Structure 1
């Protein structure tokens, strides 16, 4: 399942730990506070169970956003860096 994870974590240690977890599960950074990748439902549930410890401040948040195949086809990316893509056939690049 294609999943985007976006976050706002104030503590540097918590943020760096979260980044390592996301990378360990195969997600790639596409923005400063955004990762994307294909993760099975069981691995996604496992990861979701581990990230709560990285939310320590009242303004901290982590969002897991599933992206279905239809939504991928409706996604438009404005970027000169095509490396942000997982599979460029499923996105409209401008």
Structure 2
């Protein structure tokens, strides 16, 4: 399943720990605080458990979104870490 993870974490040490966890699961950084990953459903609970052990619910925010294959296929990614991908003809970038 395709998952997008974004976060707003104040402390550098905690933020780096979240980055390390996501990269450990094979997630790719698409923006400074946004990661994209393809993860087996059985691993999602494990990932959530690890991430929840790092963040401070009073100060930090973590957003995890499941993206269906159809919607993912319609995505446009422009990033140094990802190849430019244009799927739908109705999108034009000038």
CA distance in 1, matches of 2:76, 2:80: 12
Tell me how large the CA RMSD over aligned residues is.
2.3
| Partners of 1:82 and 1:18 in 2: CA distance | 21
Distance in 1, Cα, partners of 2:80 & 2:55: 31
Larger radius of gyration: 2
Gaps of 5+ in 2: none
Count of aligned residue pairs for this structure pair: 90
Larger helix proportion, structure 1 or 2? Answer: 1
Matched-pair contact (CA < 8 Å) for 1:9–1:57: no
TM-score, normalization by structure 1 = 0.80
TM-score (norm 2): 0.80
Question: Runs of 5+ in structure 1 lacking a partner?
Answer: none
